A and B are shown apart, each in its own frame.
Chain A
Amino acid sequence: MLQVRDVTFAYERSARPVLAGVSLVVASGELVAVIGPNGSGKTTLLRLMRGLLRPQRGEVLWEGKPLGHFSPRELAQRFGVVLQEPKLGFPMTVLEYVLHARFPYSNGFGFESERDRQIALSALRLMRALEFKDRELAELSGGERQRVVLARALAGEPRALLLDEPTANLDVRFQVEMLALIRRITRERALSTVFIAHELNLVAEFADRVLLLKDGQVIACGPPHEVFTEERLRQAFEAEFLVDRHPLSGAPRITFVGPIPDRGGNPSGERTNGAASAPKFVLQRER
């Protein structure tokens, strides 16, 4: 179980905090999504949860103990992290890259064992990336690389997964497949999984709970049908949404309507009288 308790964080002492009073509990086997506009502090939260940053106030607990209780090696064994796409200036094969995840299980020297190799290969198999294990990382397409990166996180046999936009660079079918797979692994291995995503409808479909952030503050936290309301989405993204139910799954279905026009500075010249009469369908065809 991963617990974030009333965490406040600023990159510089004097600066405005990037996160203010954020709390979150992620149980084993639970899939939690963090959403919010750009710059709302999502990635910072992920870094705090892994202990890469230290909060000025509040604390992060793993299995009831503060992260500081664990050695770097123990934390590396427990957390599978995908932060951003690797930028590599050196040739490296997929298998070589995935095997890096076995480092926290070594004494720091020597070579990977046959068991390490088998674990890396089965992680690749799970992500359907086994067929390009000998290819260069730089030669992969965005979607292939995304799968390899996740395979590496899994090859560390983690108890928790922290994923920064695991569905970025994927086409819509792979996005669905990726999230279905992440959910399945989360359940089967009883992982505490947190992921950041921008595709609200996919989040509504797959996440057990959703944390909605804006300017470092929690707007809402709960199951998708509680978090995805027109009111809260408007507050977070400063835009109009329609929310109804997905006809097949019953999950909230979010339709983007359009940005809330500036009061007084409406580019189309139409006068609007505040939010109450904001036009519902900005996305309609231009005249």
Chain B
Amino acid sequence: MIRYRLAMVEAHRVLGRSLFERGPATPKKVAVVCGVLALLLLLIATAALHMGSEPVSREAVAEVLRTHLFGGAGEPTVSDTIVWRIRGPRVLLGLAAGAALAVAGVLLQALLRNPLAEPYVLGISGGAALGAIFAVLGFAELPLLRPLLAFTGAALVTALVYGLSRGRTGISTERLVLAGLILATLLWSAVALVLALVPNPHLRGLTFWMMGDLSGGGNGLLPLVLGIVFGAAAVAYAHARRLNLLMVGEEDARVLGVDVERVKTAAYLLASLLAGTIVSVAGAIGFVGLLVPHLVRMLWGSDNRLVIPAAALSGAILVVLADAVARTALAPRELPVGAVMASLGAPFFILLLRRA
């Protein structure tokens, strides 16, 4: 009994220290923080399965999951269709979108050494959207081209923003935010223009997609999207220590033996890939990459060995939660999840800008 008590006290101490301490990441701290976040994500994702315009009881959700995950004979029921065919993919897509956008934010922030960098704010999502629309217009029969062209659009805009915001003394916040704002406005106008002018049956319904929409559940691309997000996040994690040094300064990183150009290229490509992929299937969900990394750093410091996995998990939690709100707030009508995120994120962005 006493031994049990001591173990509990010790566990409490480790948990408390890891959960509420900044500073260099340690394996223990990463394990504790990510473990707690993963548990939370699991709870919220399961809860999201039974929330919606058509309520499905917890027991029914559990039954559907048990049937599909562990095998078992069962007649296809209505709850089965709702939970496994409609809500499941949607929750998974939200999870992927949140994780991807949060990690893309972390990468862009390290690359530009600016906590305000984020795919939506910098117009990168706009570039990806335009790329995705071209794919739909020109090659509707090749769904794989959609994420590919979205990635190309995202990469082009990232390069453009980087070039535009870089002055002789490095990258200034003002130039960065202005360049992003202008590009975002321009690109989203182009998207709206194409949607309004081109009478293409494939484009119908894309207005909703433009504002961030998870209802498609990936349109058959879900396994690919999950694979890309997981892979890109893993590669990003492999660069975590180098990104830590890059965040202090390019010359500083070089002095410590970092191949700065390689790390910058990796961060740039991975961020574009993550943002492009998500936009192509879920439209523009803004501010995740801004809110999440900031909160994670505020709680646990800036060490990317912790920030990257913690931001991925927290981003997933946030978007799954936001989508649950979008589905239920005005049920049976649905709101675009991007609008829900923007109403959360925009005030936060203003707050950050005032502090920068």
- The 8 Å CB contact of B113, one of A71, A76, A89, A136, is A89
Contact check, A76 vs B298: say whether CB atoms are below 8 A apart: no
Q: Does B174 contact A (CB under 8 A)?
A: no
Interface assignment of B290: CB less than 8 Å from any CB of chain A: no
Q: Does A101 contact B (CB under 8 A)?
A: yes
Within residues 247 to 305 of chain B, which ones have a CB less than 8 A from any CB in chain A? 247-249, 251-252, 254-259, 297-298, 301-303, 305
Contacts of A134 in B (CB 8 A): 22-23
- Is the CB of A108 closer than 8 A to any CB of chain B? yes
Q: What would 15 more interface pairs be, CB under 8 Å, given A96-B302, A156-B256?
A: A52-B251, A72-B254, A73-B257, A79-B255, A89-B114, A90-B302, A92-B301, A93-B24, A93-B301, A95-B23, A97-B248, A100-B244, A103-B258, A106-B241, A111-B25
Contacts of A50 in B (CB 8 A): 255
In the complex, are the beta carbons of A72 and B259 less than 8 A apart?
Answer: yes
Q: Which A residues are in CB contact (< 8 Å) with B301? A: 91-93, 96
Contact: A111 with B245, CB < 8 Å?
no
Count contacts on B: residues with CB < 8 A to the other chain: 33
Residue of B27, B255, B259, B303 touching A96 (CB-CB under 8 A): B303
The 20 sampled A-B contact pairs (Cβ below 8 Å) are A52-B255, A73-B257, A75-B257, A76-B256, A77-B257, A83-B251, A86-B249, A88-B247, A89-B115, A91-B298, A91-B301, A93-B22, A93-B23, A96-B24, A99-B24, A100-B244, A100-B245, A103-B241, A103-B242, A103-B256
CB distance from B116 to the nearest CB of A (A): 9
A87 at interface by CB-CB < 8 Å:
yes
Contact B249 A91 (CB under 8 A): no
Contacting residues, chain A, for B113 (C-beta < 8 A): 89
Residues B257 and A87 in contact, CB atoms below 8 Å apart = no
Cα distance, A83 to B247, chains bound together (Å):
16
With a cutoff of 8 Å between Cβ atoms, the chain B residues found around residue A75 in the complex are: 257
Find the B residue at minimum CB distance from A81.
B255
**Residues of chain B lying within 8 A (CB to CB) of residue A86:** 248-249, 252
Contact status of A108 and B242, CB under 8 A, knowing A72-B257, A92-B301, A100-B256: yes
Residues of B within 8 A of A91 (CB): 22, 297-298, 301-302
**Of B25, B241, B305, B356, most A-chain CB atoms within 10 Å:** B241
Residues of B within 8 A of A262 (CB): none
Closest to A93 in B: B23
Q: How far is the CA of A52 from the CA of B115 in the complex (A)?
A: 27
Contact A92:B302 (CB < 8 A) given known A83-B251, A99-B24, A106-B241: yes
The 8 Å CB contact of A111, one of B26, B109, B256, is: B26
Q: Does A259 contact B (CB under 8 A)?
A: no
**B interface footprint on A22-50 (CB within 8 Å = 1, 0 otherwise):** 00000000000000000000000000001
Most chain A CB within 10 A, of B242, B249, B297, B356, is at B249
- On A, residues with C-beta under 8 Å from B are 50, 52, 71-73, 75-77, 79, 81, 83, 86-93, 95-97, 99-101, 103-104, 106, 108-112, 134, 136, 156
A100–B257 touching, CB < 8 Å: no
Q: For the complex, what is the distance from the CA of A104 to the CA of B256, rounded to whole Å? A: 6
Looking across the interface, which residue of chain A has its beta carbon closest to that of B23?
A93
> Mask for B324-356, Cβ within 8 A of A = 1, else 0?
000000000000000000000000000000001
Contact A104 B257 (CB under 8 A): yes
Task: State in angstroms the CA–CA spacing of A109 and B297 once bound together.
Answer: 20
B23, B25, B255, B302: the one contacting A76 at CB < 8 Å is B255
A203 to chain B, nearest CB (A): 24
User: B238 interface residue, CB < 8 Å from A?
Assistant: yes
7 A-B pairs closest in CB distance: A76-B257, A90-B302, A104-B257, A73-B257, A93-B23, A96-B24, A72-B257
Of all chain B residues, which has the CB nearest A89? B115
Contacts of A103 in B (CB 8 A): 241-242, 245, 256-258
Among residues of A, the one whose C-beta sits closest to the C-beta of B302 is A90
Nearest B residue to A100 by beta-carbon distance? B245
CA distance A100 to B304 in the complex (A): 12
Given contact pairs A79-B255, A83-B255, A95 touches B245 in the complex (Cβ within 8 A): no
Which residues from chain A contact B258 at a C-beta distance below 8 Å?
72, 103
Q: How far is the CB of A77 from chain B (nearest CB, A)?
A: 8
> In the assembly, what is the distance between CA of A71 and CA of B257, in Å?
8
Q: A86-B249, A95-B23 are in contact. Are A109 and B238 (CB under 8 A)?
A: yes
- Residues of chain A with a CB closer than 8 A to B302's CB: 90-92, 96
B326 to chain A, nearest CB (A): 31
Q: How far is the CB of A198 from chain B (nearest CB, A)?
A: 21
In the complex, residue of chain A having the shortest beta-carbon distance to the beta carbon of B249: A86
Chain B residue at minimal CB-CB distance from A120? B24
Complex Cα gap A99–B115 (Å): 22
Alpha-carbon separation in the docked complex, A50 to B24 (Å): 27
CB <8 Å contact, B249 and A90: no
- C-beta contact mask, B58-76 vs A, less than 8 Å → 1, else 0? 0000000000000000000
- Within 8 Å by CB of B256, from A87, A90, A101, lies A101
CB-defined contacts of B305 to chain A, threshold 8 Å: 111
| A98: nearest chain-B partner, CB-CB | B24
